[in-house]
Amino acid sequence: MITTHSIKEYIEKNNVRKMVRWKIHDGKWFFELFPGFWQHEQSFDRFFPQYEYKKNPNENPDGTYIQ
């Protein structure tokens, strides 16, 4: 799992992960890395890691106040 402080990156990367095409061949799961190239499910997290959002503690929520 990769931690990010960007909501945009969190949403985009997790949506790409959810939209990956899958197939079953001989009882084993494969995902499409790019058109026509299939990888075994064991390497899925390496190519499409799950992202976790954590708020940046240094980010100033009030733009008018300078710390």
pLDDT at residue 58 in the model? 73
Q: Which residue type sits at 47?
A: F
Residue 67 has pLDDT above 90, yes or no: no
pLDDT in tens, 4-26: 888 899 999 999 999 999 999 99
Mean pLDDT across 44-48? 95
The fraction of the chain above a pLDDT of 90, given in percent, is 72
Sorted by where each begins, the domain ranges of the chain are 2-53
Residues 6+ apart with CB under 8 A from 54: 3, 4, 5
